[in-house]
Amino acid sequence: MFTEEEKEAFYKILYKRRDIRTFLPNPIPDESLQNILTAAHHAPSVGFMQPWNFTLVYSDEVKERLAWAANKERRALAIHYEEEEEKESDFLALKIEGIKESPLTICVTSDPTRGGSHVLGRNSIPETDSLSTACAIQNMWLAACAEGIALGWVSFYKKQDIRNILEIPPHIDPIALLSIGYTDDYPNMPILQTANWEKRRELEELLYVDTWGNNRTNMD
């Protein structure tokens, strides 16, 4: 059992966690980094396959190439907003990554072959290796927040670009680029919400009972 204070601390971390794009150059203490990586490695995984690996990128040259890959994809995606000039401008103005600013970027990968061809659960749902890796990333995010360290998930890139830059084997899936470091700009709400790009949906609208679309607010 957990005390009320412990539960309060957990939920405080859960709701405070943010996707950060601006970083200070200050190095991350070894102990804090180890805590974050250990938290990731203790994530649940389907069939206990533990499909993750973590490539720590400190090199400025490598980070420059990763930032290039992200920016290339950002500009390619801007095409989707060409007919909405204001939307396109807003999109290009968004800061999507802080790879070159942060002292460390971590590429989190998933190995779909780990555990062999018969992993409990993955036989039925092949995507469970990626989903398990996402659980590890969420653990990292929460642990980083608890350590007072900011983390940003870079989601704009072509996977083959990242494989080429980091020399990742072709069967390995680069799930995420995570920039980690200290920041002096930790917002109280999500960046996209602050920028009026999107707002949080009401939970009640997303809850169904027994069958899809059977909203519980419509029940007697």
Chain segment 135-192, per-residue pLDDT in tens: 999 999 999 999 999 999 998 899 999 999 999 999 999 999 999 999 998 888 777 6
pLDDT tens digits along 62-97: 999 999 999 888 877 777 666 666 655 655 555 667
Distance of alpha carbon 19 from the chain centroid: 8
CATH class of the domain comprising 12-218 = alpha beta
Do the beta carbons of residue 81 and residue 87 sit within 8 Å? yes
Q: What is the pLDDT of residue 15?
A: 94
| pLDDT digits 0-9 by tens, 93-106 | 556 678 999 999 99
Query: Pick the residue with more confidence: 111 or 123?
Result: 111
Q: Does the pTM exceed 0.85?
A: yes
Give residue limits of the domains in the chain: 12-218
Task: Provide the CA 20 distance to its chain's centre, in angstroms.
Answer: 10
So what's the pLDDT on residue 47? 86
